[in-house]
Structure 1
Amino acid sequence: MKKVENKYDLIVYGSLNMDYVGYVDKLPEPGETVASNSFNIGPGGKAANQVITAAKLTAITAMVGRVGDDHIGTVMKNELAQAGVDDDDVLVSPGIQTGIAMVSVDQTGNNSIVTYKGANAILTEEDVTHSLDKLKRAEGVVLQLEMDKQVGEYTIQMASDLGKKIILNLAPIVDIDSEVLKLVDLLIVNEPESSFLSGMDVNSVDSAKEAIEVISKIGIDNIVITLGGEGAVFKTGDIIKHYPASKVNVVDTTGAGDCFVGAVSFFWIRSGDLDLSVKNAVNVAALSVTKQGAITSLPSLAEYQQFIGKEEFDFHQLNISK
């Protein structure tokens, strides 16, 4: 009997970090030392946050990245496996430390983050090529740029050559090749990133709507600008629209942007409807900020269904099975 190969909604390429989080009354000024009221250690990293978000929303996922041969690396791979993410292509680098993030969170939930790439920095084009078999069986790919720029561009080109939907979260800000950027099917950026791409100061819904028009001239059909607590603005075709996020008790915004990326990517891959996907993803991200931590705050589909307060979530429109 012929073996049936797994198919994936999304393959996510990128970073895995352990987060060291201090909760403070206020974020320190340059040269200032502040004491934390509490401290937490938990798994994170942009790509890990994004792929686990999608998995908890019932996406079939795999991840490609690198960890070190330390205890943190073991914990990170276990976290992926527990969420149902295929982690076979999360490779272990001998003698290298797994990436870490040092996070400060103030009383309003705002944060400042310093990262050390560690094993994330040595992800190679060969590692990406190693995932080719999985990529052929995937609907789409998600990546950020917490990796070597050349590796990111290579990943986009390889996915494009295979006709896959490409979702790029341009974080951190990297000046990637303009011809490669045109290959992206869905671009997701925040205010500073959209300011970089547009040459404008993006700090409001109105300025985001202006900037998204400028960015679209790159040649990307689908663009989202995230605005934190103000939700997100998106453009698809001639449509530009803003969806505010639900008002919630903000505890910790760490990982909220990644939560949005994971949610909107999965919803869009399944439904093909960016409007519906953004509408739901802003609220998935809003739910995540009501808990501490990055991965520890990511909601399941059942939790999201309960949060939006509908007796029957519209699984049909998003093409998601219960």
Structure 2
Amino acid sequence: MQTCSGRPGGHDVVVVGSVNADLVVGVERRPGPGETVLGADLATHPGGKGANQAVAAARLGARAALVGRVGDDGHGRLLRASLAAAGVDLAHLATTPGAPTGVALITVGPDGDNSIIVSPGANARVGPDDVAAARAAITAASVVSCQLEVPLPAVAAAARLGAEAGARVVLNLSPPALVPDDLLARCDPLVVNEHEAAFLLGPDGPRDPAAMAEALRRRGPRSVVVTLGADGALVAAGPEPVRVPSPRVAAVDTTGAGDAFTAALCLRLARGDALPDAARYAARAGAAAVRAPGAQGSFPAPGDLPGP
């Protein structure tokens, strides 16, 4: 298993991923088919899994850069401003004329849990050419972090380029999709929640988290992290899976918690932590993120993390 201790002059984390405006409505309950329910006032927050991870990493102290696309519209300008304010390097965030910025439509229930529909917009135009244009940043990075809200060819190109240069590749399989074996083989770790793990393993696969992690690892990743929400995470990197607890906090909104977890994981891997130790830190970041509404606005600075 590869370890990183940072590269002089390079970024700790280069994120290749999506940039969305999150349109959030609180509801007492979600509507059924053909049903209309009233919600709270609409709130617009900067989001997208790629942008979220870049902001969360930067807020925790990482040298972070983002490779992605926005539209030439108000949402794109909002997102650029949020990323810049967090200190994210935007040299490789392109603007796509004629395409809207990506949008996520999010409903949040009274328990803080959420349901999300994503309209990709400019994110759907991210491709291998964007990765090639960011070659210098990716090959100098300690960790390259990807998700699946941008097209798979871009993700595969980033993972290949990063791995060949000696960077550690982290893939958050969200939203879940089938990916080629050579991409899985570059993951160190593959990060999934229980739903995403079940998708990859199929209907006949195990449902116990430890068994899921081991079964996923046999599919090719160098290591696997299965996130378990308030129950922490399960790490498969050595002979036996390691369970990592999460601090107990009062959840307000779980939007972005998984991104905060993955960003913190990437940061600590870039700093040289072993995967279980990085996951312990990441669980604290994920727990901190559920204590406030929205995604990027809820991401913690180091001093905001709850105790282990």
Q: Same fold (TM over 0.5)?
A: yes
Paired with 1:202 and 1:300, the residues of 2 have a C-alpha distance of 38
Give the alignment partner of residue 24 of structure 1, picking from 4, 22, 27: 27
Paired with 1:189 and 1:126, the residues of 2 have a C-alpha distance of 27
- Paired position in structure 1 for 2:243: 242
- Paired position in structure 2 for 1:268: 269
- Paired position in structure 2 for 1:80: 83
Task: Report the identity percentage.
Answer: 36
- After superposition, the C-alpha distances for 1:238-280 in whole angstroms (9 at most, x for unaligned) are 1311122111111100111111111111112212311111112
TM-score with structure 1 length normalisation? 0.90
- Paired position in structure 1 for 2:201: 198
Structure 1 vs Structure 2 CA RMSD:
1.6
Paired with 2:59 and 2:205, the residues of 1 have a C-alpha distance of 31
Give the alignment partner of residue 121 of structure 2, picking from 118, 125, 143: 118
Equivalent residue of 2:283, what SS? Answer: helix
Give the alignment partner of residue 13 of structure 2, picking from 2, 6, 10: 10
The 1:198–1:298 alpha-carbon spacing in structure 2 relative to 1, beyond 3 Å, is same
- After superposition, the C-alpha distances for 1:142-189 in whole angstroms (9 at most, x for unaligned) are 000111112211221121221211000011112111122112121100
User: Once the 2 structures are TM-superposed, how far is the Cα of residue 195 of structure 1 from its aligned partner?
Assistant: 0.6
Q: Which runs of no fewer than 5 residues in structure 1 stay unpaired? A: 310-322
Paired with 1:116 and 1:218, the residues of 2 have a C-alpha distance of 30
- After superposition, the C-alpha distances for 1:186-235 in whole angstroms (9 at most, x for unaligned) are 1100111111222357897xx01011111111232221001112211111
Equivalent residue of 1:34, what SS? Answer: coil
Equivalent residue of 2:65, what SS? Answer: strand
User: Once the 2 structures are TM-superposed, how far is the Cα of residue 38 of structure 1 from its aligned partner?
Assistant: 3.5
Paired with 1:155 and 1:93, the residues of 2 have a C-alpha distance of 20
Q: Which runs of no fewer than 5 residues in structure 2 stay unpaired? A: 1-7
Paired with 1:203 and 1:211, the residues of 2 have a C-alpha distance of 6
Q: Does 1:64 align with 2:62?
A: no
User: Where in structure 2 are the equivalents of 1:108-257 lying within 5 Å?
Assistant: 108-199=111-202, 207-257=208-258
User: Once the 2 structures are TM-superposed, how far is the Cα of residue 118 of structure 1 from its aligned partner?
Assistant: 0.2
On the 8 A contact 2:264/2:282 being kept in 1, the answer is yes
On the 8 A contact 1:202/1:208 being kept in 2, the answer is no
On the 8 A contact 1:221/1:237 being kept in 2, the answer is no
By relative contact order (CA 8 Å, sep 6+), the higher-ranking structure is: 2
Paired with 1:37 and 1:219, the residues of 2 have a C-alpha distance of 45
User: Once the 2 structures are TM-superposed, how far is the Cα of residue 105 of structure 1 from its aligned partner?
Assistant: 0.2
On the 8 A contact 2:185/2:222 being kept in 1, the answer is no
Equivalent residue of 1:147, what SS? Answer: coil
- After superposition, the C-alpha distances for 1:95-116 in whole angstroms (9 at most, x for unaligned) are 1100001100000001111110
TM-score with structure 2 length normalisation? 0.94
Q: Aligned letter for 1:223? A: V
The 1:221–1:111 alpha-carbon spacing in structure 2 relative to 1, beyond 3 Å, is same
The 1:202–1:232 alpha-carbon spacing in structure 2 relative to 1, beyond 3 Å, is farther
| Number of residue pairs matched by the alignment | 301
Q: Aligned letter for 1:193? A: E
User: Once the 2 structures are TM-superposed, how far is the Cα of residue 34 of structure 1 from its aligned partner?
Assistant: 1.3
On the 8 A contact 1:195/1:201 being kept in 2, the answer is no
Paired with 1:277 and 1:152, the residues of 2 have a C-alpha distance of 23
- Paired position in structure 2 for 1:314: none
On the 8 A contact 2:19/2:68 being kept in 1, the answer is yes
Paired with 2:139 and 2:215, the residues of 1 have a C-alpha distance of 33
Paired with 2:184 and 2:55, the residues of 1 have a C-alpha distance of 25
Equivalent residue of 1:50, what SS? Answer: helix
Q: Aligned letter for 1:287? A: A
- Paired position in structure 2 for 1:284: 285
Paired with 2:206 and 2:178, the residues of 1 have a C-alpha distance of 21
